[in-house]
Chain A
């Protein structure tokens, strides 16, 4: 069984964990080519270890998204979005960054990277990807994958994903991750050559067997409960939030009708005319202000969604075996299936021997896994608190805008 790349000899300096919960911090690095070298905050977090693949501090950004057409595996034409990933290394002394790598990737390649990491780092809580399809949509929001707002939010989500990996003390050292950022062509083949799909199945089965045999560690049982609850409560919250957003949209937009009618009415009034007209203008302003407000709230929703996906991954990873293979790998090719069966046959023969070595491995696994879970918990608490505070900030901004508009409107009314 191959071990994952991390070399225990290497000194780990845990990366300073930036509050990545606030998308704006991530955005600081992702404003596009123009932002290059504009003194971006170090939201692209780095690790500085000697034998790292990264020799310098790096910044990662997913700076652009582009529609492409091409041919898929079944030789049919398809449209997809490609994302530009830029990597910059930052000079120590003056903070200037230099573009070192830049390449285009599509969503399915991100998925491949993640699946690979899941297999090779089963004891790590691997960051989730942003949603493939828009969910928890309130009805004015588009559910279309090609919708520019959705693409934009996904771009931010993908950047966040890469930054989280880069800031993870263990994951950031992974070679495949490095290649993802630097090797445009052939990366897919490189990943597949590791044969990780084959290993995944047997490995997970074996590891899970460890848990079933002995008394399951209480911590993991609690974790399962927690992740179930978190999943359920966040989805509930997101659903209600979407409905609230819908209603709020309605309230604001109907006021826009006042604008039109007041303006028409003012035409027949002599004294009231001016007041009506200008009040109507403010009603229009009020009605259109909701678009930005709700766009901001979508970012908040995305922050929560990230932890929803984290929770989903935790649940799946820890205990669910059924269907996990298909969930991870989707459609298998006949060759893959063949190979898998072969491996299974081998395993059956080696079963006894493996069990013995598994016990040791199991204990080591548990220790490492729990360390990462602790790290994850702290990250989660920080990020969610950040998110809730940013929600309050959004509400405050919305209230201030409201006060302004209605104060103006009131003045107009009183002058009628």
Chain B
């Protein structure tokens, strides 16, 4: 950084101009961040070693403290700061995405099946009983060709709590990315005990989906906690869990988040207003569809139960008939076959449609959370910027300590005035850099969300389309089977009739 003479000023101006162009500003900003110190500090140092404006160093000390604070929050921007480590991964690792569009292009590339290098399965639920509790673990097998994994195959056992932990870590690390949803903790109604087979199986499938969605996500797939989750032994995982900011810091974040959200979100950009509206409506509709689909399943089940009784009555009847025996028995077998077809239709519904719809119900809750977090980031930063601007000017103006340096030599009034003016200039031009940094943070969060949003929408469309097409297919198949059954009955009856009438003829 140049001196804060003309060169320094020029640099600062250039920096702010570049920022408005967006791309370069980000790069500059990130470079600034990776160097760890605010530009202001460097500028201060270049003034010949000493701090002729103790006020400024004092203020830069203030700045430093606050910037460190922000650094913690900036974990979500690790995509931009972990430059060294990221570059060494496979060539498809997300470089610094500079625009949502480039990220989308990258994503499309990434989702090609033949490029998948991480395969995960969740199976073999097992019950564990201890003195304190009973719980289920699931076996997770990971197969990968990635260099950063120590081996190419891993097998671990995890319980639901571990999944919860992973989700929490991912949300922490990427507050504005759309993290896949986990199946619910417990179902409230209709559950006799926590561990009935259907519940476990449904959960296992959902957990499998959860991990695979993370693996398919261009950013989340490289998350460190994810890797540890897949590979660490039980004791390793426990000790790893204990590290990190932990509960208190998360609580701290929550408190701050609540505080800032209470201030309300002004200035939410237009596109996020649209996104928010969509999410609200989508959430309503998908919840309704979930209810409707569950209800259809229930009705089909009850229909099946009644049909099971319907066929055998015809058999019973045939026992007291002579002429009608065959016809009745045939009708009974037709009904039974239709019954089986109904059963198949039901299981198709519960395999294909219900889990997908339910996952998107959970996703819609996730999305609302993501929107809130984005709004919070913006609100926090908006208010900080506000505070910074006014407070800083206020403080600096009130802080006359810089005057004391003048005590060594008697300055003329003119010189005092010149120093004061220069100091104010410095303040005003330092602020944009800080504000710029903070704005960068919001912009990165927004871009991350935008890109992930596009990706999510595309996936949602595909998944919903597939699920409903499957449902339609199941129904077609069901009716085709029943049709064939009854048609062959009719044919046999007609043939019989023809036989009989031909026999009657002399």
Pair A413/B465 contact, Cβ less than 8 Å = yes
Q: State the total of A-B contacts with C-beta under 8 angstroms.
A: 135
Is B295 at the interface (CB under 8 A from chain A)?
yes
Interface with B: A35-43, A79-87, A258-266, A321-329, which one?
A258-266
Pair B313/A247 contact, Cβ less than 8 Å = no
Chain B residues, Cβ within 8 Å of A188: none
Bound together, the chains give a CA A255 to CA B480 distance in angstroms of 19
Contact-residue bracket for chain B:
35 or more
Q: CB < 8 Å: which of B289, B338, B461, B468 contacts A271?
A: B461
Residues from 296 to 343 in A contacting B, C-beta threshold 8 Å:
none
Bound together, the chains give a CA A163 to CA B285 distance in angstroms of 56
Is B328 at the interface (CB under 8 A from chain A)?
yes
Is A250 at the interface (CB under 8 A from chain B)?
yes
Is B222 at the interface (CB under 8 A from chain A)?
no
Pair A402/B320 contact, Cβ less than 8 Å = no
What 1/0 mask marks residues of chain A from 236 to 271 whose CB sits below 8 Å from any chain B CB?
A: 110011011011101100110110010011011001
Chain B residues, Cβ within 8 Å of A413: 465, 468-469, 472
Bound together, the chains give a CA A214 to CA B340 distance in angstroms of 53
Is A395 at the interface (CB under 8 A from chain B)?
yes
Bound together, the chains give a CA A271 to CA B461 distance in angstroms of 9
Pair A254/B292 contact, Cβ less than 8 Å = yes
Residues from 189 to 203 in B contacting A, C-beta threshold 8 Å:
none
Bound together, the chains give a CA A414 to CA B468 distance in angstroms of 9
Pair B317/A233 contact, Cβ less than 8 Å = yes
Bound together, the chains give a CA A406 to CA B324 distance in angstroms of 35
Q: How far is the CB of A22 from the nearest CB of chain B, in Å? A: 14
Interface with A: B21-29, B107-115, B259-267, B304-312, which one?
B304-312
Interface with A: B10-18, B37-45, B487-495, which one?
B487-495
Interface size on A, residues (CB 8 A): 50
Q: How far is the CB of A232 from the nearest CB of chain B, in Å? A: 9
Specify the chain B residue showing the minimal Cβ separation from A382.
Answer: B323
Pair A240/B461 contact, Cβ less than 8 Å = no
Pair B314/A257 contact, Cβ less than 8 Å = no
Is B475 at the interface (CB under 8 A from chain A)?
yes
Residues from 435 to 469 in B contacting A, C-beta threshold 8 Å:
461, 464-465, 468-469
Check A392/B486 contact, CB under 8 A, given A233-B313, A251-B296: yes
Is B316 at the interface (CB under 8 A from chain A)?
yes
Q: From DSSP, what is the main secondary structure of chain A's interface residues? A: helix
Pair A389/B490 contact, Cβ less than 8 Å = yes
Q: CB < 8 Å: which of B296, B465, B479, B493 contacts A272?
A: B465
Is A391 at the interface (CB under 8 A from chain B)?
yes
Pair B482/A395 contact, Cβ less than 8 Å = yes
Q: CB < 8 Å: which of B288, B307, B320, B479 contacts A261?
A: B288
Chain B residues, Cβ within 8 Å of A145: none
Residues from 331 to 364 in B contacting A, C-beta threshold 8 Å:
331, 334, 338
Pair B320/A233 contact, Cβ less than 8 Å = yes
Chain B residues, Cβ within 8 Å of A385: 323-324, 327, 493
Chain A residues, Cβ within 8 Å of B327: 385, 388-389
Pair A399/B486 contact, Cβ less than 8 Å = yes
Q: CB < 8 Å: which of A230, A234, A255, A391 contacts B296?
A: A255
Is B83 at the interface (CB under 8 A from chain A)?
no
Specify the chain A residue showing the minimal Cβ separation from B311.
Answer: A240
Check A261/B309 contact, CB under 8 A, given A392-B334, A410-B469: no
Pair A272/B490 contact, Cβ less than 8 Å = no
Pair A264/B314 contact, Cβ less than 8 Å = no
Check A389/B313 contact, CB under 8 A, given A399-B483, A403-B483: no
Chain A residues, Cβ within 8 Å of B464: 272, 416
Check A409/B288 contact, CB under 8 A, given A389-B493, A402-B479: no
Pair A230/B320 contact, Cβ less than 8 Å = yes
Looking at A230, A257, A395, A416, the one whose CB has the most chain B CB atoms below 10 A away is: A395
Pair A247/B479 contact, Cβ less than 8 Å = no
Bound together, the chains give a CA A251 to CA B305 distance in angstroms of 13
Bound together, the chains give a CA A258 to CA B349 distance in angstroms of 15
Pair A381/B323 contact, Cβ less than 8 Å = yes
Specify the chain B residue showing the minimal Cβ separation from A391.
Answer: B331
Q: CB < 8 Å: which of B296, B306, B479, B487 contacts A240?
A: B306
Chain B residues, Cβ within 8 Å of A261: 285, 288-289, 292
Is B273 at the interface (CB under 8 A from chain A)?
no
Q: How far is the CB of A337 from the nearest CB of chain B, in Å? A: 40
Specify the chain B residue showing the minimal Cβ separation from A269.
Answer: B461
Is A90 at the interface (CB under 8 A from chain B)?
no
Bound together, the chains give a CA A81 to CA B306 distance in angstroms of 35
Is A229 at the interface (CB under 8 A from chain B)?
yes
Chain B residues, Cβ within 8 Å of A226: 320
Bound together, the chains give a CA A384 to CA B328 distance in angstroms of 10
Is B75 at the interface (CB under 8 A from chain A)?
no
Pair B314/A237 contact, Cβ less than 8 Å = yes
Looking at B277, B278, B487, the one whose CB has the most chain A CB atoms below 10 A away is: B487
Pair B302/A410 contact, Cβ less than 8 Å = no
Chain A residues, Cβ within 8 Å of B316: 233, 236
Q: CB < 8 Å: which of A240, A389, A400 contacts B309?
A: A240
Chain A residues, Cβ within 8 Å of B493: 385, 389, 392
Bound together, the chains give a CA A389 to CA B480 distance in angstroms of 19
Pair B482/A265 contact, Cβ less than 8 Å = no
Pair A410/B473 contact, Cβ less than 8 Å = yes
Is B476 at the interface (CB under 8 A from chain A)?
yes
Q: How far is the CB of B436 from the nearest CB of chain A, in Å? A: 35
Pair B479/A399 contact, Cβ less than 8 Å = yes
Chain B residues, Cβ within 8 Å of A229: 320
Residues from 254 to 306 in B contacting A, C-beta threshold 8 Å:
277-278, 281-282, 285, 288-289, 292, 295-296, 299-300, 302-303, 306
Q: How far is the CB of B277 from the nearest CB of chain A, in Å? A: 8
Chain A residues, Cβ within 8 Å of B313: 233, 236-237, 240
Bound together, the chains give a CA A391 to CA B324 distance in angstroms of 15
Bound together, the chains give a CA A385 to CA B328 distance in angstroms of 9
A-B interface, 3 closest residue pairs, ranked by CB to CB distance from nearest? A410-B472, A247-B303, A402-B479
Known A240-B313, A388-B328; further 12 A-B contacts with Cβ < 8 A:
A236-B316, A243-B306, A247-B299, A255-B296, A384-B324, A388-B331, A395-B338, A396-B490, A399-B479, A399-B480, A403-B483, A406-B479
Listed A/B pairs (20) with beta-carbon separation below 8 Å: A226-B320, A229-B320, A237-B314, A247-B306, A251-B296, A254-B292, A261-B292, A265-B285, A265-B289, A385-B323, A388-B324, A388-B327, A392-B490, A395-B486, A399-B483, A403-B483, A406-B475, A406-B476, A410-B472, A414-B465
